[in-house]
Protein backbone atom coordinates (compact mmCIF):
# COMPACT_ATOMS: atom_id res chain seq x y z
CA UNK A 1 0.00 0.00 0.00
CA UNK A 2 1.26 3.46 -0.91
CA UNK A 3 1.02 6.07 1.82
CA UNK A 4 -0.64 9.27 0.65
CA UNK A 5 0.76 12.45 2.21
CA UNK A 6 0.30 15.14 -0.44
CA UNK A 7 -3.01 15.95 -2.14
CA UNK A 8 -4.35 18.39 -4.71
CA UNK A 9 -8.07 19.08 -4.89
CA UNK A 10 -9.11 20.35 -8.33
CA UNK A 11 -12.30 22.36 -8.00
CA UNK A 12 -12.28 24.57 -4.92
CA UNK A 13 -15.99 25.26 -4.63
CA UNK A 14 -18.13 24.33 -1.65
CA UNK A 15 -17.61 20.58 -2.11
CA UNK A 16 -13.95 20.60 -3.11
CA UNK A 17 -13.11 23.22 -0.52
CA UNK A 18 -14.72 21.14 2.21
CA UNK A 19 -12.71 18.08 1.18
CA UNK A 20 -9.54 20.17 1.24
CA UNK A 21 -10.38 21.38 4.76
CA UNK A 22 -10.93 17.84 6.04
CA UNK A 23 -7.62 16.61 4.68
CA UNK A 24 -5.62 19.67 5.76
CA UNK A 25 -7.10 19.51 9.26
CA UNK A 26 -5.89 15.92 9.56
CA UNK A 27 -2.29 16.56 8.57
CA UNK A 28 -2.20 16.14 4.81
CA UNK A 29 -0.38 18.73 2.73
CA UNK A 30 -3.10 20.01 0.40
CA UNK A 31 -3.18 22.32 -2.60
CA UNK A 32 -6.33 23.60 -4.24
CA UNK A 33 -6.74 24.56 -7.89
CA UNK A 34 -9.68 26.17 -9.64
CA UNK A 35 -10.46 27.73 -13.04
CA UNK A 36 -7.96 30.56 -12.52
CA UNK A 37 -5.35 31.67 -10.01
CA UNK A 38 -7.74 34.46 -8.97
CA UNK A 39 -10.53 31.97 -8.27
CA UNK A 40 -8.12 29.69 -6.41
CA UNK A 41 -6.82 32.53 -4.23
CA UNK A 42 -10.38 33.68 -3.50
CA UNK A 43 -11.25 30.12 -2.47
CA UNK A 44 -8.26 29.99 -0.11
CA UNK A 45 -9.42 33.22 1.57
CA UNK A 46 -12.95 31.79 1.88
CA UNK A 47 -11.71 28.53 3.38
CA UNK A 48 -9.62 30.35 5.98
CA UNK A 49 -12.62 32.49 6.91
CA UNK A 50 -14.85 29.41 7.16
CA UNK A 51 -12.32 27.52 9.26
CA UNK A 52 -12.10 30.40 11.73
CA UNK A 53 -15.89 30.63 11.88
CA UNK A 54 -16.21 26.89 12.48
CA UNK A 55 -13.65 27.14 15.26
CA UNK A 56 -15.41 30.13 16.85
CA UNK A 57 -18.70 28.21 16.71
CA UNK A 58 -17.14 25.21 18.42
CA UNK A 59 -17.55 23.03 15.32
CA UNK A 60 -13.77 22.67 14.95
CA UNK A 61 -11.42 22.25 17.89
CA UNK A 62 -9.18 25.01 19.16
CA UNK A 63 -6.28 25.65 16.81
CA UNK A 64 -7.97 23.95 13.86
CA UNK A 65 -7.95 27.00 11.60
CA UNK A 66 -4.23 27.42 12.15
CA UNK A 67 -3.64 23.74 11.38
CA UNK A 68 -5.70 23.91 8.21
CA UNK A 69 -4.00 27.00 6.89
CA UNK A 70 -0.60 25.58 7.78
CA UNK A 71 -1.32 22.65 5.47
CA UNK A 72 -3.44 24.30 2.76
CA UNK A 73 -2.08 26.34 -0.15
CA UNK A 74 -3.26 27.68 -3.50
CA UNK A 75 -1.70 26.17 -6.60
CA UNK A 76 -0.38 28.57 -9.23
CA UNK A 77 -2.28 26.60 -11.89
CA UNK A 78 -3.99 23.24 -12.21
CA UNK A 79 -0.97 21.85 -14.03
CA UNK A 80 1.47 23.07 -11.40
CA UNK A 81 -0.70 21.95 -8.47
CA UNK A 82 -1.04 18.34 -9.66
CA UNK A 83 2.51 17.90 -10.95
CA UNK A 84 4.08 16.25 -7.90
CA UNK A 85 1.47 14.97 -5.42
CA UNK A 86 0.46 11.49 -4.28
CA UNK A 87 -3.27 11.94 -4.82
CA UNK A 88 -5.33 14.23 -7.05
CA UNK A 89 -8.99 14.69 -6.17
CA UNK A 90 -11.22 16.04 -8.95
CA UNK A 91 -14.25 17.84 -7.54
CA UNK A 92 -15.72 19.88 -10.39
CA UNK A 93 -19.30 20.10 -11.70
CA UNK A 94 -21.45 16.95 -11.92
CA UNK A 95 -21.20 16.87 -15.70
CA UNK A 96 -19.40 13.98 -17.43
CA UNK A 97 -17.94 16.13 -20.21
CA UNK A 98 -16.61 18.75 -17.81
CA UNK A 99 -15.11 16.06 -15.61
CA UNK A 100 -13.49 14.30 -18.57
CA UNK A 101 -11.87 17.52 -19.75
CA UNK A 102 -10.47 18.20 -16.27
CA UNK A 103 -9.30 14.60 -15.82
CA UNK A 104 -7.42 14.78 -19.14
CA UNK A 105 -5.65 17.94 -17.98
CA UNK A 106 -4.81 16.29 -14.66
CA UNK A 107 -3.35 13.22 -16.36
CA UNK A 108 -1.23 15.36 -18.69
CA UNK A 109 0.63 16.89 -15.73
CA UNK A 110 0.34 14.49 -12.79
CA UNK A 111 2.91 11.84 -11.95
CA UNK A 112 2.28 8.53 -13.68
CA UNK A 113 1.88 6.86 -10.28
CA UNK A 114 -0.37 9.53 -8.74
CA UNK A 115 -3.73 8.17 -7.60
CA UNK A 116 -6.63 10.05 -9.19
CA UNK A 117 -10.08 10.24 -7.65
CA UNK A 118 -13.33 11.78 -8.78
CA UNK A 119 -15.93 13.17 -6.40
CA UNK A 120 -19.15 12.28 -8.18
CA UNK A 121 -22.51 11.39 -6.68
CA UNK A 122 -24.05 9.56 -9.65
CA UNK A 123 -21.63 9.10 -12.60
CA UNK A 124 -20.05 5.62 -12.91
CA UNK A 125 -16.28 5.18 -13.15
CA UNK A 126 -16.75 3.44 -16.52
CA UNK A 127 -18.19 6.67 -17.97
CA UNK A 128 -15.14 8.74 -16.97
CA UNK A 129 -12.25 6.27 -17.12
CA UNK A 130 -11.48 6.83 -20.83
CA UNK A 131 -10.23 10.30 -19.90
CA UNK A 132 -7.62 8.84 -17.53
CA UNK A 133 -4.22 7.46 -18.48
CA UNK A 134 -3.10 4.50 -16.37
CA UNK A 135 -6.70 3.68 -15.36
CA UNK A 136 -5.55 1.28 -12.65
CA UNK A 137 -4.98 4.34 -10.43
CA UNK A 138 -8.49 5.82 -10.90
CA UNK A 139 -11.59 5.50 -8.71
CA UNK A 140 -14.54 7.40 -7.29
CA UNK A 141 -14.09 8.92 -3.84
CA UNK A 142 -17.52 10.36 -3.08
CA UNK A 143 -17.64 12.73 -0.13
CA UNK A 144 -21.00 14.12 1.01
CA UNK A 145 -21.95 17.73 1.60
CA UNK A 146 -20.93 19.38 3.91
CA UNK A 147 -17.67 17.44 3.77
CA UNK A 148 -16.21 18.84 7.04
CA UNK A 149 -19.08 17.32 9.03
CA UNK A 150 -20.25 14.21 7.12
CA UNK A 151 -17.83 11.33 7.77
CA UNK A 152 -19.09 8.76 5.24
CA UNK A 153 -17.37 8.37 1.86
CA UNK A 154 -18.42 6.08 -1.00
CA UNK A 155 -15.62 4.32 -2.87
CA UNK A 156 -16.13 2.91 -6.35
CA UNK A 157 -13.41 0.97 -8.13
CA UNK A 158 -13.34 0.58 -11.89
CA UNK A 159 -12.55 -2.63 -13.72
CA UNK A 160 -8.88 -1.66 -13.87
CA UNK A 161 -8.49 -0.15 -10.38
CA UNK A 162 -5.91 -2.05 -8.35
CA UNK A 163 -6.41 -3.23 -4.78
CA UNK A 164 -3.31 -1.27 -3.79
CA UNK A 165 -4.98 1.97 -4.89
CA UNK A 166 -8.20 1.11 -3.04
CA UNK A 167 -6.23 0.29 0.11
CA UNK A 168 -4.28 3.54 -0.13
CA UNK A 169 -7.50 5.57 -0.30
CA UNK A 170 -9.06 3.60 2.57
CA UNK A 171 -5.97 4.39 4.63
CA UNK A 172 -6.25 8.09 3.72
CA UNK A 173 -9.88 8.14 4.84
CA UNK A 174 -9.10 6.53 8.19
CA UNK A 175 -6.34 9.06 8.80
CA UNK A 176 -8.79 11.85 7.84
CA UNK A 177 -11.36 10.64 10.38
CA UNK A 178 -13.75 9.39 7.69
CA UNK A 179 -15.49 6.07 7.08
CA UNK A 180 -15.26 4.51 3.64
CA UNK A 181 -17.77 2.10 2.13
CA UNK A 182 -16.98 0.39 -1.18
CA UNK A 183 -19.86 -0.12 -3.63
CA UNK A 184 -20.25 -1.35 -7.21
CA UNK A 185 -19.77 0.82 -10.29
CA UNK A 186 -23.39 1.63 -11.10
CA UNK A 187 -25.22 4.94 -11.67
CA UNK A 188 -26.16 6.56 -8.36
CA UNK A 189 -24.04 4.00 -6.50
CA UNK A 190 -25.67 3.22 -3.12
CA UNK A 191 -26.05 6.55 -1.36
CA UNK A 192 -28.11 8.31 -3.99
CA UNK A 193 -30.16 5.27 -4.93
CA UNK A 194 -31.27 5.19 -1.30
CA UNK A 195 -31.68 8.94 -1.04
CA UNK A 196 -33.56 9.26 -4.32
CA UNK A 197 -35.82 6.31 -3.49
CA UNK A 198 -36.89 8.04 -0.28
CA UNK A 199 -37.48 11.34 -2.08
CA UNK A 200 -39.46 9.58 -4.82
CA UNK A 201 -41.78 7.93 -2.30
CA UNK A 202 -42.07 11.17 -0.32
CA UNK A 203 -43.21 13.06 -3.42
CA UNK A 204 -45.76 10.34 -4.23
CA UNK A 205 -47.16 10.59 -0.72
CA UNK A 206 -47.61 14.35 -1.15
CA UNK A 207 -49.02 14.05 -4.69
CA UNK A 208 -51.55 11.46 -3.53
CA UNK A 209 -52.68 13.67 -0.66
CA UNK A 210 -51.55 11.22 2.02
CA UNK A 211 -49.57 13.90 3.87
CA UNK A 212 -48.20 17.40 3.34
CA UNK A 213 -44.52 18.11 2.66
CA UNK A 214 -44.24 19.50 6.19
CA UNK A 215 -45.77 16.41 7.76
CA UNK A 216 -43.60 14.05 5.69
CA UNK A 217 -40.49 15.89 6.87
CA UNK A 218 -41.73 15.72 10.47
CA UNK A 219 -42.39 11.97 10.21
CA UNK A 220 -38.97 11.25 8.70
CA UNK A 221 -36.90 13.30 11.12
CA UNK A 222 -38.78 12.25 14.28
CA UNK A 223 -39.17 8.50 13.57
CA UNK A 224 -36.94 6.33 11.40
CA UNK A 225 -34.69 9.27 10.53
CA UNK A 226 -34.07 9.64 14.25
CA UNK A 227 -32.52 6.17 14.21
CA UNK A 228 -30.43 6.47 11.07
CA UNK A 229 -27.55 8.35 12.68
CA UNK A 230 -26.81 5.21 14.68
CA UNK A 231 -28.11 2.24 12.71
CA UNK A 232 -28.58 1.40 9.04
CA UNK A 233 -31.80 -0.12 7.67
CA UNK A 234 -30.65 -3.73 8.11
CA UNK A 235 -29.77 -3.20 11.77
CA UNK A 236 -33.07 -1.35 12.39
CA UNK A 237 -35.01 -4.22 10.82
CA UNK A 238 -33.15 -6.72 13.01
CA UNK A 239 -34.22 -4.80 16.11
CA UNK A 240 -37.87 -4.52 15.00
CA UNK A 241 -38.13 -8.16 13.87
CA UNK A 242 -37.69 -9.49 10.34
CA UNK A 243 -40.89 -11.51 10.61
CA UNK A 244 -42.73 -8.29 11.51
CA UNK A 245 -41.32 -6.64 8.39
CA UNK A 246 -42.53 -9.52 6.21
CA UNK A 247 -46.08 -9.05 7.50
CA UNK A 248 -45.84 -5.31 6.93
CA UNK A 249 -44.58 -5.79 3.39
CA UNK A 250 -47.50 -8.09 2.60
CA UNK A 251 -49.94 -5.32 3.48
CA UNK A 252 -48.04 -2.84 1.30
CA UNK A 253 -47.62 -5.33 -1.54
CA UNK A 254 -51.35 -6.03 -1.58
CA UNK A 255 -52.03 -2.31 -1.99
CA UNK A 256 -49.16 -1.11 -4.17
CA UNK A 257 -48.06 -4.21 -6.06
CA UNK A 258 -44.54 -4.79 -7.35
CA UNK A 259 -43.29 -1.37 -6.22
CA UNK A 260 -43.63 -2.51 -2.61
CA UNK A 261 -43.09 -6.23 -3.12
CA UNK A 262 -41.57 -8.16 -0.21
CA UNK A 263 -37.78 -8.41 -0.77
CA UNK A 264 -36.52 -11.95 -1.37
CA UNK A 265 -33.54 -11.34 0.90
CA UNK A 266 -35.99 -10.63 3.71
CA UNK A 267 -38.22 -13.66 3.17
CA UNK A 268 -35.21 -15.96 2.72
CA UNK A 269 -33.92 -14.93 6.16
CA UNK A 270 -37.31 -15.37 7.84
CA UNK A 271 -37.82 -18.74 6.16
CA UNK A 272 -34.42 -19.75 7.55
CA UNK A 273 -35.60 -18.85 11.06
CA UNK A 274 -33.70 -15.56 11.29
CA UNK A 275 -36.10 -13.10 12.94
CA UNK A 276 -33.62 -10.54 14.25
CA UNK A 277 -32.34 -9.75 17.70
CA UNK A 278 -35.43 -11.20 19.40
CA UNK A 279 -34.46 -14.78 18.54
CA UNK A 280 -30.74 -14.07 18.36
CA UNK A 281 -30.47 -14.54 14.59
CA UNK A 282 -30.58 -11.50 12.31
CA UNK A 283 -29.24 -10.56 8.92
CA UNK A 284 -26.56 -8.39 10.54
CA UNK A 285 -25.31 -11.32 12.62
CA UNK A 286 -26.08 -13.59 15.57
CA UNK A 287 -26.84 -12.16 19.00
CA UNK A 288 -26.34 -13.89 22.33
CA UNK A 289 -28.09 -12.53 25.42
CA UNK A 290 -25.22 -10.22 26.37
CA UNK A 291 -24.96 -8.79 22.84
CA UNK A 292 -28.73 -8.23 22.65
CA UNK A 293 -28.65 -6.40 25.97
CA UNK A 294 -25.70 -4.28 24.81
CA UNK A 295 -27.45 -3.34 21.55
CA UNK A 296 -30.63 -2.34 23.38
CA UNK A 297 -28.68 -0.31 25.94
CA UNK A 298 -26.73 1.47 23.20
CA UNK A 299 -29.91 2.13 21.23
CA UNK A 300 -31.75 3.62 24.19
CA UNK A 301 -28.80 5.80 25.16
CA UNK A 302 -28.27 6.96 21.57
CA UNK A 303 -31.89 7.94 21.04
CA UNK A 304 -32.08 9.68 24.39
CA UNK A 305 -28.94 11.68 23.62
CA UNK A 306 -30.30 12.53 20.17
CA UNK A 307 -33.43 13.90 21.82
CA UNK A 308 -31.30 15.98 24.18
CA UNK A 309 -29.31 17.37 21.24
CA UNK A 310 -32.42 18.32 19.29
CA UNK A 311 -33.93 20.05 22.32
CA UNK A 312 -30.64 21.92 22.83
CA UNK A 313 -30.44 23.05 19.19
CA UNK A 314 -34.15 23.80 18.82
CA UNK A 315 -36.03 23.60 15.52
CA UNK A 316 -34.19 24.16 12.25
CA UNK A 317 -34.82 27.52 10.53
CA UNK A 318 -37.49 27.37 7.85
CA UNK A 319 -38.04 29.27 4.65
CA UNK A 320 -40.92 31.69 4.31
Q: Is 99 annotated as a binding residue?
A: yes
Between strands 6-10 and 29-33, the pairing is parallel
Using CA atoms, how far residue 310 sits from 23, 144, 233, 303, 306, in Å, is 29, 22, 22, 11, 6
Q: Is 278 annotated as a binding residue?
A: yes
Q: Is 121 annotated as a binding residue?
A: yes
Q: Is 12 annotated as a binding residue?
A: yes
Q: What is the DSSP track for 140-206?
A: EEEE-SSTTT--EEEEEE-SS--HHHHHHHHHHHHHTT-EEEEE-S-TTTTHHHHHHHHHHHHHHHH
Q: Is 14 annotated as a binding residue?
A: yes
What SS3 class is residue 117? strand
Residue 137's nearest CA partner among 153, 160, 109, 167 is 160
Q: Is 297 annotated as a binding residue?
A: no
Assess contact for 22 and 148: CB atoms under 8 A: yes
Q: What angle do CA 274, 276, 280 make, to 5 degrees?
A: 80
Q: Is 109 annotated as a binding residue?
A: no
Phi, psi of 116 (to 5 degrees): -125, 125
Q: Is 158 annotated as a binding residue?
A: no
Rg (CA), the chain: 22
- Residue positions in the annotated binding site for NAD(+)? 11-16, 34, 94, 99, 121, 145, 278
Annotated binding site: 11-16, 34, 94, 99, 121, 145, 278
Amino acid sequence: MRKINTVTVVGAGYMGGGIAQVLALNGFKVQIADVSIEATNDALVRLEKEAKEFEDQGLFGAGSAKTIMGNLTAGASLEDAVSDVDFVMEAVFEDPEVKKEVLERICASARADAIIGTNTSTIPVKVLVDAVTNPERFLTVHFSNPAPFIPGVELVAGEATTQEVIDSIKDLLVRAGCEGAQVADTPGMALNRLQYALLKEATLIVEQGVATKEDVDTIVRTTFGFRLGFFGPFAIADQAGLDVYVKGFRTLENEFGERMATPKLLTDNVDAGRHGTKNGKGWTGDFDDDTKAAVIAYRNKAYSRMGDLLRELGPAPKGS
